[in-house]
Amino acid sequence: MDVLRNMVEAVKPGGLVLDLQVIRPNPVVEAEQRDLCEIDGTPLFRTADAAAAAVDDLISLRRLVEQAVDDHDVRKHYDNGVDLIDDFAHKPRNLPEAALAQLRRLEAPCAVRERCRLRRLLTNARLGLLPRPARTA
């Protein structure tokens, strides 16, 4: 919450804040106009849900004003299945074990499709800066 509070404080009263979130359902791997597998989004949703809740709290406190919401798909493209597997090697989300053999053989381009939410927010010009929490020793 401190990072979010600092970010909002850095924006002038009435200034614009964009909030991009990954949302459900789980991401899907696509190739050749079909879905190949679903990726368990739980590790990413845990942090995304916490971040969304923190923004929601600032909205409920009227520190931020939500102007618009746009849910849309985002696709990250890969040259082939091995390229996709390599990209996921060090991520908290894992590709399903059952799909790895098929992905290793995939020579066609593929993509991961995720649902995202973009929120346009304004800092509340009437309220000014956010109060800082008391420091504890």
Q: Kindly report, residue by residue over 19-73, the tens digit of the pLDDT.
A: 999 999 999 999 999 999 999 999 999 999 999 999 999 999 999 999 999 999 9
d(CA 20, CA 117): 6
pTM exceeds 0.85, yes or no: no
Average pLDDT, the chain: 91
Non-local CB neighbours of 28 within 8 Å, separated by 6+ positions: 35, 36, 37, 38, 39, 112, 113
Q: Which residues pair with 22 in a beta bridge?
A: 116
Q: What is the pLDDT of residue 2?
A: 74
pLDDT value at 1 more than 70: no
| Helix, coil or strand: residue 42 | helix
Q: Kindly report, residue by residue over 61-108, the tens digit of the pLDDT.
A: 999 999 999 999 999 999 999 999 999 999 999 999 999 999 999 999
Q: What is the pLDDT of residue 6?
A: 81
